[in-house]
A and B are shown apart, each in its own frame.
Chain A
Amino acid sequence: MDPSVDSIVMEMKGIKGVIDSKVICERRAQVTVSAEAYHSVVETLQKKGFAHIAAMTCIDSGENLELLLQIGRRAIVTVKVILPAQTPSIDSVSDILPPASFHEREIHDLFGVEFRNCPDSSRLMLPEEWPKGTFPLRKSFQPETPAPLRGP
């Protein structure tokens, strides 16, 4: 059983590297951390029972990339890290949460985030012939036919 969202949010507030910690709604909380503290915060959460990765999302918000790790079974805590879009690089958490490597490989393919110490960084989502250094889910990537064609 996961601990309640309120208590985890209060506990997270004291930890070094935690920028912000808040309850979003019922069974959802968000903890914003610095890139250096990301690994240790995830480790703390894992020890508290947040060991199930619901999803790992990356969002291109212009100058920065936001990495969101959503973990938890009943309640979901989002660990948010802001990375520079030019050289995004962060510690891999696959030593704490083994299945994270799949999520990290997906984000590496689609957004170009470097995960340090990721056991496997080969391509997962993109085909072999996809050009290197092109990240399709970044906002700078323009698809050829973004919307359905018009007309008969």
Chain B
Amino acid sequence: MSIFLEACRSLLKPKATLRYPLGGKDLLQIPDGYRGKMALKREACIGCTICEKDCPSSAITIITDQKGKRPVFYLDRCMFCGQCKESCPTKAISFTKDFENASYDRKTMEVR
């Protein structure tokens, strides 16, 4: 009986779900510290390659650009655990709130 009353009360309440994605991205409140797509502060990176060694899913490869060694992140393999951010001695890696990473092309899923 009590659940019946609860169901009647719920008729007067607003919807429990959000109209995502139709209502747009702004509907969702992404909390601070969410682990979305990562970003690299190039000037802080010293090319120590610890992130590559620690990455549990081998989603990081080290390449050499004009400034020296730097990581490239492959989002298709990344599981967003945040270990690279933990391991980075100079705090060059950070996570943004960008969570819409799906793509038809693997090549676009790189963070350089």
Contacts and interface: CB of A to CB of B under 8 A. Distances in A.
Interface of A: 147-152
Interface stretch (B3-11, B54-62, B80-88): B54-62
Contacts of B57: 148
B61 A148 contact: no
Contacts of A147: 58
Chain A interface SS verdict (over half):
loop
Contacts, number: 14
Give the most central of B58, B74, B106: most A CB within 10 Å: B58
Interface size class of chain B, counting residues whose CB lies under 8 Å from the partner chain: under 10
A151 B106 CA distance: 13
A152 B74 contact: yes
Contacts of A149: 58
A120 B56 CA distance: 39
Interface string B75-108: 0000000000000000000000000000000100
Given A148-B56, A149-B58, A152-B61, 11 more contacts: A147-B58, A148-B57, A148-B58, A150-B58, A150-B61, A151-B58, A151-B61, A152-B72, A152-B74, A152-B106, A152-B110
